[in-house]
Amino acid sequence: MKRIGFIGLGIMGKPMARNLLAAGYPLAVYDIVPAAMETVVAAGATAAASSREVAAQSDVVITMLPNSPEVRQAVLGEDGVLAGARPGLILIDMSSIAPLASREIAEAAAARGVRMLDAPVSGGEPKAIQGTLAIMAGGPQDVFDEVKDILGKMGSSVTRVGDIGSGNVAKLANQMIVALNIAAMSEAMVLATKAGVDPKKVFEAIRGGLAGSTVLEAKMPLVLAGNFKPGFRIELHIKDLMNALDTAHAIGVPVPLSSGVLEILQALKVGGKGGDDHGGIVQFYEDLARIRVREH
């Protein structure tokens, strides 16, 4: 059984690491916030003092970090993964970062004999806890085949999209669709509520039709309850959409709808709501219409 290292134990990383432990994998963990390691170590993981130390005792290293700069530091830094890696180690970056950054990190890794996949996820904290994430991977087929079973302990859908970087392209597409879905749901439900119709009844009426979606099922109950506890924070969705816009503009793809939702998210962040769940997009529309979408 492969020894796994896990770097980044935030909202998503912690339950993902715990699912690997539950599956019986030997696990070494590291986070720049020592307290973040406590519950995973209590569940059986070994604490490491750096990313370098994680790599030194692992066959596979998984990173789950906020953005490209953090992944670069964790992998390429003085005490990073490559400093402690042996040739043949597999690096799986499950962070959502810019596709170009994935390719650059993979090139540096290859120079040290380290193979890499970019394998971002979708599903938020609930599916991370359940081990039912959707995982979209980019990288060599043989590397993907070697670690697919490991990925399957964290996700119920594990798909190789193409070469390195393509996993993050798929994630950017996912994040665009999710943001636009939440915004459309929010706009429609504010309309229904302002028109005097119970939004819960509207939800029940449309969920089985063409407007039904995973986003609607996941987010509408939280909106009705006024629960914006973060499963996926607005500030992180801003990061993903900024990466999407940068990538789109670099290859000449106009993305007007995504640009508009990004500005809505930015407005919410300026208003102090960057730490809310992205289902909190509804608050932007609620403030405009001066009404709250809640269960009657």
pLDDT tens digit sequence for 217-233: 999 999 999 999 988 89
Q: Which domain holds residue 283?
A: 169-289
Which CATH number does the domain housing residue 71 bear? 3.40.50.720
Q: How far, in Å, CA of 294 to CA of 190, rounded? A: 10
The verdict on 38 and 103 lying in the same domain is yes
Q: Is residue 295 part of a domain?
A: no
Average pLDDT along the chain, 296 residues, taken 10 residues at a time: 97 97 98 95 97 98 96 98 98 96 97 98 93 98 98 98 98 97 98 98 98 96 96 93 95 98 98 97 98 90
Domain count, the chain: 2
Q: Is residue 143 part of a domain?
A: yes
The verdict on 124 and 203 lying in the same domain is no
Q: State the pLDDT at residue 2.
A: 96
The verdict on 147 and 58 lying in the same domain is yes
Domain endpoint, select from 163, 186, 201? 163
Q: Is residue 276 part of a domain?
A: yes
Task: Report helix, strand or coil for 126.
Answer: helix
Q: How far, in Å, CA of 104 to CA of 102, rounded? A: 6
Q: Is residue 12 part of a domain?
A: yes
Known catalytic membership, residue 14: no
The verdict on 12 and 57 lying in the same domain is yes
The verdict on 154 and 124 lying in the same domain is yes
The verdict on 219 and 195 lying in the same domain is yes
The verdict on 189 and 263 lying in the same domain is yes
Catalytic residue among 127, 171, 219, 273: 171
pTM score, two decimals?
Answer: 0.92
Q: Among candidates 179, 185, 214, which has minimal Cα distance to 282?
A: 185
Per-residue exposure over 276-287, b if at least 16 CB sit within 10 Å of its own CB, e if not: bbbbbbbbbbbe
Mean of per-residue pLDDT scores for the chain? 97
Q: Could you read off the pLDDT of 237-256 as tens digits, one per residue?
A: 999 999 999 999 999 999 99
In the chain the first and final C-alpha atoms are separated, in Å, by: 53
- Structural contact between residues 30 and 5, judged by C-beta atoms closer than 8 angstroms: yes
The verdict on 26 and 152 lying in the same domain is yes
- Structural contact between residues 51 and 29, judged by C-beta atoms closer than 8 angstroms: no
Domain endpoint, select from 143, 163, 183? 163
The verdict on 68 and 213 lying in the same domain is no
In the chain, the amino acid numbered 294 is R
Q: Is residue 266 part of a domain?
A: yes
